[in-house]
């Protein structure tokens, strides 16, 4: 049984809103001094959580819109991180059903590997195109914090991304 189309649309719009608000919050001048601290890539983690929990809701156009918005607002090379995140998300989307049947640790390990590959690919593409790169130590710290944020995001979105059998039965009547 599937969710009603209105709930799927609501979930898609919620995803876009959450990612866009998070990106806008990243640009707020909260502190006055520059700092050398790596922040996690929260839109990437949110996308992976939503792809693993509800692959039927996440489609390539939705992910592309969210990450192109983030690229433009955060002044990154347009489309590079979007392409990497889209490829990683589609890779995970194909395997999402398989990971529902195994232990969470293996899912988290797969997500960690995908995040490390994504950050590494982004770093090497920036090197090859002679664009300014981040300190490798900060990049590794950012990847590590992003990986550690995955279980927290799973816990935060667990009730929202659960398949609503009760709602589906009510709408079928």
Closest C-alpha among 52, 44, 48, 47 to residue 14: 47
Domain residue limits, the chain: 5-26+39-166
Counting every residue written for the chain, the total comes to 173
Residue 133 CA to residue 39 CA, distance in Å, equals 16
> Residue 132: its pLDDT value, please?
87
What percent of the chain stands above pLDDT 70? Answer: 90
> Residue 38: its pLDDT value, please?
77
> Residue 32: its pLDDT value, please?
62
> Residue 99: its pLDDT value, please?
79
Q: Are 106 and 96 in contact (CB under 8 A)?
A: no
107-149: pLDDT as tens digits: 999 999 999 999 999 999 999 999 888 889 999 999 999 999 9
Q: Which residues of the chain have pLDDT under 70?
A: 1, 31-36, 163-173
Q: Are 47 and 19 in contact (CB under 8 A)?
A: yes
Residue 112 CA to residue 146 CA, distance in Å, equals 9
> Residue 28: its pLDDT value, please?
84
Name the 3-class secondary structure at 5: helix
Residue 89 CA to residue 51 CA, distance in Å, equals 7
Q: Are 95 and 119 in contact (CB under 8 A)?
A: no
Q: How much is the mean pLDDT over the chain?
A: 88
């Amino acid at each position: 049984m599937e969710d009603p189309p209105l709930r799927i649309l609501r979930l898609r719009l919620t995803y876009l809103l959450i990612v866009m608000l998070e990106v806008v919050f990243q640009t707020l001048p909260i502190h006055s001094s520059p700092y050398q601290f790596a922040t996690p890539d929260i839109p990437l983690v949110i996308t992976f959580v939503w792809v693993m929990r509800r692959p039927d809701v996440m489609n390539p156009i939705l992910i592309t819109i969210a990450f192109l918005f983030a690229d433009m607002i955060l002044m990154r090379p347009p489309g590079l991180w979007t392409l990497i995140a889209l490829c990683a998300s589609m890779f995970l989307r194909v395997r999402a059903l398989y990971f529902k049947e195994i232990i969470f640790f293996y899912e988290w390990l797969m997500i960690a590997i995908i995040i490390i590959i994504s950050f590494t690919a982004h770093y090497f593409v920036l090197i090859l195109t002679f664009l300014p790169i981040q300190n490798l130590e900060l990049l590794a710290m950012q990847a590590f914090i992003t990986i550690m944020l995955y279980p927290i995001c799973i816990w935060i979105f667990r009730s929202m991304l659960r398949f609503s059998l009760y709602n589906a039965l009510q709408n079928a009547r």
